[in-house]
Amino acid sequence: QVQLLQPGGEAKEPGASVRVSCKTSGFAFTNYGVSWVRQAPGQGLEWVGHISADSRHTYSAQSLQGRLTLTRDTSTSTAYMDLTRLTSDDTAIYYCGRDTGTAAGDYWGQGTLVTVSS
């Protein structure tokens, strides 16, 4: 079955960087893009970015441009999200999704809580 596995949480100080992994299984990783969305406490879903199936193209929310890097490792079927210069506004649950091209995600990971606090 399709699975996207994410770590449970990361605690970071302001100004630090975070890497969130998304290990996939149960489908042909090279056939799908990966989208990332985040959800701040008590708030709605916010699209973060997308990496294409062949890794050639990445797109990010305008508010995060310059701080967000999306990559993927075909050998381990894992996608990564790197976010730098963290502030308290980045505190959120970050979800990775299998992007079909017609939906940001038909399957989603369980989410990684990134907490930014001094």
Partner 1 sequence: QSALTQPASVSGSPGQSIAISCTGTSSDVGGYNRVSWYQQHPGKAPKLIIHEVSNRASGVSDRFSGSKSGNTASLTISGLQADDEADYYCSSYTSSITWVFGGGTKVTVL
Which residues are at the interface with partner 1 (CB under 8 A)?
35, 37, 44-47, 50, 59, 61-62, 95, 97, 100-111
Report, in Å, the least distance between residue 83 CB and partner 1: 17
Enumerate residues 6+ apart whose C-beta is below 8 A from 29: 72, 74, 77
User: What is the smallest separation between the CB atom of 60 and partner 1, expressed in angstroms?
Assistant: 8
In the complex, minimum distance from the CB of residue 93 to partner 1, in angstroms, rounded to a whole number? 9
Measured from the CB atom, is 3 or 16 closer to partner 1?
A: 3
Six-digit token pair at 43? 């708030």
At 8, which amino acid appears? Answer: G
CA 75-48-69 angle, to 5 degrees, is: 50
Q: Which is nearer to partner 1, 62 or 75 (CB)?
A: 62
CA dist 13 and 16 (Å) reads 6
Closest approach, Cβ 87 to partner 1, in A, equals 20
Please, which residue, 13 or 95, has the CB nearer to partner 1? 95
Q: How far is CA 1 from CA 14, 24, 27, 98, in A?
A: 38, 10, 8, 13
Nearer to partner 1 by C-beta: 72 or 97? 97
